[in-house]
Amino acid sequence: MRNDNSASRISAESLLDVAALRADTPGAGDVVHFNNAGCGLLAAPVLAAMVDHLRLEASIGGYEASAARAEQVREFYAETAALINCAPENIAFAGSATHAFSTALSAIPFEAGDVILTTRNDFISNQIAFLSLGKRFGVRAVHAPDLPEGGVDVEAMARLMREHRPRLVAATHIPTNSGLVQPVAEIGRHCRELDLLYLVDACQSVGQYPIDVAEIGCDLLTATCRKFLRGPRGSGFLYVSDRVLRAGYEPLFIDMYGARWVEPGRYQPVETAARFEDWEFPYAIVLGCAAAARYARQVGMDAIARRTPALAAGLRDRLADLPGVRVLDHGRQLGALVTFAIDGWQPEPFKAAMDARRINSALSYRHFAQFDFGDKDIDWCLRLSPHYYNTEQEVDQVVAAVADLSLVGGSRDDR
């Protein structure tokens, strides 16, 4: 499906020194990395921040190293807050986006009969969490319908808000299984009008697009650092609004970092989003995340948001022209996740054939996206996700590889 990203392809590269960015990316010369929706390639400053701290831990001890780097650790909150337009006190570190999401959910006092209003394109782990809440507490998930062209029907979702008065509204900005970009700010406007609690999963959008939590109007937002932000694995964060903090929301299992034990029978949560954190931190990873957020801001999120989806748009358009290839992305706005089905191949052999060409990609399966893949009548697809440090020549290389494999797929013994 062609989309309005196409017009910006030529101008997008001129905003960035791609050669310098690739020189700053140790892995860029080794592979064609089109799996940034899985993990982005680390930039050199991110790697250096982590390695330097591990060396310090090895030389003086872990507790001592964290004390020595306390100021740099605080920069994680400042850099992340600047990335999404909030105060550092509204940021909590998390081990992953899913960890952040489940911690946020645990703070909501659900009761039997409560409704979670969501979409048909939420991330698999979020959907499972909603089903788990239903199983344990009798909470019901209601899914807003999609528009014919793809993406949630916001007006229908607003009607469901008024009908059900949900305990929580939840939306995934960009689902993992397609290039769809959901209108989370439009959803947020309705949530504010009706004073509804709103949770946004920005796992695939942080580092790909500028994110402004004030514009989105969310109470809670979760993200990972390993994807388009190009941070280390095992890291993410949770944004918690002032409104939620003032209302006294806290995670179900709050620990000694998030609360003070003030009397034998009473504890007091801290006033900031730190109440959602645990005492034990992977400090080298936190420092790597700070470096990743700083690096993204130095590159420029507006420039990234032009180049990255534009590379994907060119890739998507060219794949759509190949025989035996069916591009699967639908919606009014499409991001840097490009998904397609290909005739004559099974998933693992096809990905292995791409791997053999040193092209990194990812597989998505029907159980990742029961609604979306059911609508599209597919059991699997390949996902390609370029980023700003990738080149047009790499797009050419990937398209040529898929074209070659589409021709030989039906006759391969290993399919």
Contact 180, 146 (CB under 8 A): no
Query: 124: alpha, beta or left, given left = phi > 0 and alpha = psi -120 to 50?
Result: alpha
pTM for this prediction? 0.94
Could you tell me the CA-to-CA distances from 414 to 297, 318, 350, 351, 409 in Å, in that order? 45, 26, 9, 12, 9
Tens digit of pLDDT per residue, the chain (415 long)? 334 443 334 344 557 999 999 999 999 999 999 999 999 999 999 999 999 999 999 999 999 999 999 999 999 999 999 999 999 999 999 999 999 999 999 999 999 999 999 999 989 999 999 999 999 999 999 999 999 999 999 999 999 999 999 999 999 999 999 999 999 999 999 999 999 999 999 999 999 999 999 999 999 999 999 999 999 999 999 999 999 999 999 999 999 999 999 999 999 999 999 999 999 999 999 999 999 999 999 999 999 999 999 999 999 999 999 999 999 999 999 999 999 999 999 999 999 999 999 999 999 999 999 999 999 999 999 999 999 999 999 999 999 999 999 998 744 444 3
Contact 139, 133 (CB under 8 A): yes
One-letter identity of residue 182 = Q
List of domains in the chain: 18-42+300-408 (3.90.1150.10), 46-298 (3.40.640.10)
One-letter identity of residue 32 = V
**Cα 113 from chain centroid?**
30
> For residues 274-285, b (16+ Cβ closer than 10 Å) or e, as one string?
bbbbbeeebbbb
